[in-house]
Structure 1
């Protein structure tokens, strides 16, 4: 009589586990150095590497990759990673994990048919990069588009929490004399009118920013396309705040009195495009601050221009603009830990599936993050942005 595999594991747990791990395909995963002018985070911390390596997979880390977030090569090595000096070794892995989209030089190092994971920062991605992915028959997965079992976007939500808190910290810093601001304290004290914070977008980042600003004593106004989101943010904050759908005359009045405006309207996932016109920016107070959290998707302001974390600000019409596509890179260690908590379990699931293509077939949420599949562009929004043609991924999945 054939013995039940579960009973077999119960009788010989260690031996059964070792045999099961031994049968699983091994993945090689590459972590490359990011350009420190643009990005300081990594997708896996040493703790995340340890979880992946314990399952029999290999993690290749480029020497010095963790230094911007204060992790040493020794910490990665002790976690089980292989430290390499060559980018070619990292990009030769089955799966390459990046934060910024890959450059043409990086893609050229990848082997045909392998997989690249990264953020979908449209300001850094190019049509040429997508075409090279297609010619090398790569799989490209955008972190922001991946859904979990609850149909939520885990990476977007995690980063949004960090961005919301960081945006208020940046606004406070830019208002100070030390940063060339007007010398205003973000918040309020007795006898002085409170700072006025205007938030465009009632998503998670906007909600966290509003909560932090209110805690400091600021006056907060929130605008969004969706009245249901405005209702939810009222409930989240646990108090009445000024909320409004985006009505031109109401927004115009709010912009003229705001000390800081935080733009947080996203387009790639679910929002219709919206942009504050240059003429409206001109009406803002001298020394007011704009923080555009959506600059990587075109921005919320006509005056926004994508900058880098080592040169994040510029002034136009007397308004200070902070426009970087990755404000959470200012707190690289926190951001990396949050991302690692998502990606380590995800890599184990891919390992259990056997490879990336099988994982795409098995998980609709993971499949949602794919924009190039085996060299075929399968995301219509991205295709439209770059003037390319996209196909339906379902046409290429066996048994889909």
Structure 2
């Protein structure tokens, strides 16, 4: 199979779909890999590194899309990239379609087979291809929040860990999954006063054991959120419904009750965000203010640490890429976990949560593949 890796074109996105090590694995398995010129140069994966691994360097994205049977990316295809896709071509990347009806429309029109990293599952129902970026984003959320709490950035002028004689900042984390637990670990390590909320009592028990009772674990009712928000200096949105739009846990009125200069970091923004006041931002212009509260809603947070994120992502995507490259239809029909990643197949929406969020008809992925 010919596998194509275009350079990412989203604002301040420096990650790359395959590392040279991954290319070498694919080439050794008998596949051809086309890499757009300078696709990984920003994170010191040079064209020469890719050549040594066995890739062919091509001058433009148009050639990558024209020649490749499968396109491997990191972020969702931008409109011009969607228009370069062709019927039956396989796309494997993060899509986050529930919050992006325009992208969904273009992918449906293309006739391509669009697979989303974020909905591939494992035997326990977890999301193995989302997990490493969730780990990165959870840890970065605390860094971003700490930075924007500084007075020069418009924040309250509060140090997360405090100092002897001065209380630490209060951090509230909504969601106790991979993002939330990683955020809690970093915030606790800095010395912050941490509260984490979740709707699963079993998960709250796990978090309580994980952090040896060093954080408060609170069941996430609307009343509990409303009670804790006014005291928080930093609030991290870390909720996820796989494939679906994020639930809006915080209303505009609740944001208005927060302290002036407090910071919101909405990691759920890829799926629409869990604050009513959230809207997508970029690394170039990461924040805005609503009712005196700083909002950080960057849609590609891990792109800020692009080399680490690329390596972490490839560690988990490579086995799936190899399966798809050998025989994509057979791999999808035989592997239900991989098939859960199929969001769009030749003009039809094949993931139930995506279809429900977008208001499209749903076609079962297995049935779509057999036609």
In the alignment, which residue of structure 1 is the partner of 2:324? 350
- CA change 1:324–1:310 in 2 (3 A) is same
In the alignment, which residue of structure 1 is the partner of 2:255? 281
In the alignment, which residue of structure 1 is the partner of 2:96? 121
In 1, are the aligned partners of 2:121 and 2:337 still within 8 Å (CA)?
A: yes
In 2, are the aligned partners of 1:123 and 1:306 still within 8 Å (CA)?
A: no
Distance in 1 separating the partners of 2:288 and 2:109: 38
In the alignment, which residue of structure 2 is the partner of 1:67? 41
In the alignment, which residue of structure 1 is the partner of 2:213? 239
Distance in 1 separating the partners of 2:141 and 2:42: 20
In the alignment, which residue of structure 1 is the partner of 2:77? 102
**Are residues 1:359 and 2:331 paired?**
yes
> What is the RMSD of the two structures over their aligned residues, measured on CA atoms?
2.1
Matches within 5 A, 1:376-387: 376-387=348-359
In 2, are the aligned partners of 1:136 and 1:375 still within 8 Å (CA)?
A: yes
Displacement after TM superposition at 1:28 (Å): 1.0
In the alignment, which residue of structure 2 is the partner of 1:393? 365
Distance in 2 separating the partners of 1:204 and 1:357: 31
Displacement after TM superposition at 1:254 (Å): 1.1
Q: What SS does the aligned partner of 2:130 have?
A: helix
Mean alpha-carbon deviation: is it higher for 101-110 or for 257-266?
101-110
Deviations 1:124-147 (A, max 9, x none): 7434x4344334432110100011
Displacement after TM superposition at 1:194 (Å): 1.1
Distance in 1 separating the partners of 2:129 and 2:368: 26
In 2, are the aligned partners of 1:227 and 1:245 still within 8 Å (CA)?
A: yes
**Are residues 1:214 and 2:188 paired?**
yes
In the alignment, which residue of structure 1 is the partner of 2:345? 373
In 2, are the aligned partners of 1:121 and 1:325 still within 8 Å (CA)?
A: no
Matches within 5 A, 1:1-400: 27-92=1-66, 93-122=68-97, 125-127=100-102, 129-268=103-242, 273-351=247-325, 354-398=326-370
Instruction: State the aligned residue count.
Output: 370
Distance in 2 separating the partners of 1:62 and 1:263: 35
Distance in 1 separating the partners of 2:225 and 2:83: 47
* TM-score when normalising by structure 1: 0.87
Distance in 2 separating the partners of 1:272 and 1:60: 36
In 1, are the aligned partners of 2:99 and 2:245 still within 8 Å (CA)?
A: no
Distance in 2 separating the partners of 1:98 and 1:277: 34
Mean alpha-carbon deviation: is it higher for 370-379 or for 102-111?
102-111
* TM-score when normalising by structure 2: 0.93
Displacement after TM superposition at 1:181 (Å): 2.7
Mean alpha-carbon deviation: is it higher for 209-218 or for 233-242?
233-242
